[in-house]
Every structure is written in C-alpha cells, then in structure tokens.
Amino acid sequence: MTTILDTAIMICLAIGLIFNALGVIGILRFPDVYTRLHAETKTTTFGTIFIGLAVVIYGLAALLETGEGQYLTLSVHTIIAVVALAFTNATGAHAIARAAYRCGYKPKPAVVDRMAEANQ
C-alpha cells in the first residue's frame, strides 16, 4: 500500500518538476514577451498543480492512516492554494500581456494581429 502511494507521489512530483523546468527553458528559447508568457505562466501552473496533487495524496493517505485532523487541513489548504494560484496566474498573465500591448510591444514574429486592426 505505502509503496504504491509513494510511487504515485513520486510520479506527480516528477511530472510537476519536468513541466516547471520546461517553463524555464521556454523563457530562454522564445523570441518575444507573449510567447515567453505562454511558456512561463502556463506550463508552471500545470507543473504546480501536479506538485499540489502530490501533497494532497500524501495528506489523504496520512489522514486515513492516523485519522488526525491536521492532515485534512493540509489537503484542503493545498487545494485552495492551487485554485487561488490558477485564478491569479491567469489574471496576472492577462494583465502583463495587456500592459505590454498598450506600451507598444507588438508581437514581433506574428502571422496576424487582429487587435491592431481593431484599435484603429
């Protein structure tokens, strides 16, 4: 039982770390602010969801084993943190992209820009 749970936790942590690492590589590889936002904010959210999932699995397993309330608190707080992270991350990315666009950083390699046409 514990080995299965440990393996599940390890897999979740590994997926989370791989996606967070890909986000960092994306910052270095992509050409302009918008494509970097894609790599940075989104892949890191996905990675962090999996790290949170690992914590939830650990907390629920410990709750079933010991029956102490603190592990339930741990799991619920982690879920709330992941939800808050997802919402603030999306809003923050939106705000950065909008601010960048209004400051005049147009998407540099771009096949189409409907927003420039709409604003004229």
Partner 1 sequence: MIPFLLTAIFAFLLYLLLTAGSGNLGVWSPAELVMGAFLALIVAAIARTFLCRNHTYRMANPLRWLVLAVYAVVPFFLEMAKANLDVAYRVITGRIRPGIVRIEPGLKTDLGVLLLANSITLTPGTLTVGVDEETNDLFVHMIHVKPGAEKKPTLDATEITAWFDFPAWIRRIAE
Determine contact, residues 104/95, Cβ cutoff 8 Å: no
- Considering beta carbons, is residue 42 or 57 the nearer one to partner 1? 42
**Binding partner 1 by CB under 8 A: which of 25, 65, 66, 84?**
25
Does 20 bind partner 1 (CB under 8 A)? Our answer is no
Report CA Rg, the chain. 19
Between CA 43 and CA 40 the distance in angstroms is: 6
CA torsion angle for 77, 82, 84, 88 (degrees, to 10)? Answer: 150
Does 97 bind partner 1 (CB under 8 A)? Our answer is yes
Site string for partner 1, 76-95 (x = CB under 8 A): xx--x-----xx-xxx-xx-
Between CA 27 and CA 4 the distance in angstroms is: 35
Between CA 90 and CA 85 the distance in angstroms is: 8
- Considering beta carbons, is residue 5 or 72 the nearer one to partner 1? 72
- List interacting residues with partner 1 (CB under 8 A): 19, 22, 25-26, 29-32, 34-35, 37-39, 41-43, 45-46, 69-73, 76-77, 80, 86-87, 89-91, 93-94, 97-98, 101, 107, 109-116, 118
